[in-house]
Amino acid sequence: MMNTAPHLPLAPKPATRLTLKDRLDKKVFDALYARSLVYNTCWEDPAVDRQALDIGPRDSIAVITSAGCNVLDYALQGPAAIHAIDANPRQNALLELKLAAIRKLEFEDFFKIFGDGYHAGFRELYRQRLRGELSAFARSYWDRQGQWFTSRHGSFYFHGLSGFVARGFCSYFRMRPQLAQDVQSLLECKDLETQRQVYDARIADELWTPAIKWILNRQLTMSLLGVPHPQRRLVQAQHPDGVAGFIRDAIEYVFRHLPVAHNYFWQVYLNGHYTRECCPEYLKHDNFVALRDGLADCIEIHDCTVTEFLDRHETPITRFVLLDHMDWMSSYYPGALIEEWTGIIERAAPCARVLLRSAHARPPFLEWVRVGRHGRSLHEVIEFDRDLAARLQREDRVHTYSGFLVGTIPK
């Protein structure tokens, strides 16, 4: 997410036939995705989303569930309805567990589970208070995976695919105690100038070793983080040092230009837990109470694709939060991507807002996807606010997407 410069060349429309390597990478990614919880926490900053979406009491939001953190964040804004959609039912199972815990547990137990990522009494709480609130799939899933909250690895946030990578890096830091100590000092900084000094003098040269760069440039690492091969190619097309170079730039921006004291995204994967002062909004006491007392009731969960949801949903949607899934659809399933955009345009309320992220500063599918009777490109159908997107992108505490787009469908 280093810039949104308009002079970047557009990537070509994806080939209709995948190479052998593409097919192998796709099989690996599909196998991991079909059997795993990919995201144990959301990796998109809802603070910038709220500014882009301007959520009000009449809004109906369609959002990719991911880990459910941002669904709960949007619910705190009091919209009429939130439709949490995910084709991976394990992601919805995590949101179900969070909603059950909000309704049935006290805050201290809730924070231990989802803030600390560890609760010694989770099994008992699950059997007695949570299990009966879940759907059949979610119940079956947490019957098997509930031990993640009582694990010897110390945290739920070291499980699932992204958690596995986080655990690996924490193990690496344990082998380098001085670097680990310096990283902890960085996380405790109270001002930007001190952050920059600590990062530049004590961390930068020690962190970016050839071994780390090699690991980050592997497609398996990216697949574990939920980044399929098409997204990796988009990154490589824009950065001279490949994925590792892009990630280095992203991390350096975060730790040199944004206050770390409230950056819970990076802190949770470095420490394995949140703190009361540095955590998502749904993990704060007063917000937990507000969700329990009714704000969470607007959330509906859908185990399906976005297109399947839109095909059977007749009420207009005023806000779409599409994350980055269109990157890999544009390469693997271009026809399905056109169907999805057709459904979005048809179901959008007048002046509906669309928020999406991409590995490319100018996602090429905005040009080649054609919708409507006249076959217009998305750039012709949607009014994108590039100035707003560029301003918000600079504030994004995650900073791992080159493309951040905010658009309005005027109709």
Residue found by looking up tokens 């975060």 in the block: 254
Per-residue pLDDT of 288-328, as tens digits, reads 999 999 999 999 999 999 999 999 999 999 999 999 999 88
Answer yes or no: pTM beyond 0.85: yes
Q: Which residues contact 409 (CB under 8 A, 6 or more apart)?
A: 344, 345, 348, 350, 351, 352, 353, 354, 381, 382, 383
For residue 200, count other CB atoms closer than 10 A to its CB.
13
On the question of pLDDT at 153 being above 90, the answer is: no
Q: What is the pLDDT of residues 191-235, one digit of tens each?
A: 999 999 999 999 999 988 888 888 777 766 766 666 666 666 776
Residue-wise DSSP of 259-294 = -STT-HHHHHHHHSS--SSSS-GGGSHHHHHHHHTT
Tokens describing residue 279: 């955590």
Q: Count other Cβ atoms within 10 Å, centred on residue 225.
A: 19
Name, in order, each residue with C-beta under 8 angstroms of 141's C-beta and a sequence gap of 6 or more: 89, 90, 93
CA distance linking residue 35 with residue 20, whole number of Å: 23
Could you give the CA distance from residue 375 to residue 368 in angstroms, rounded to a whole number? 10
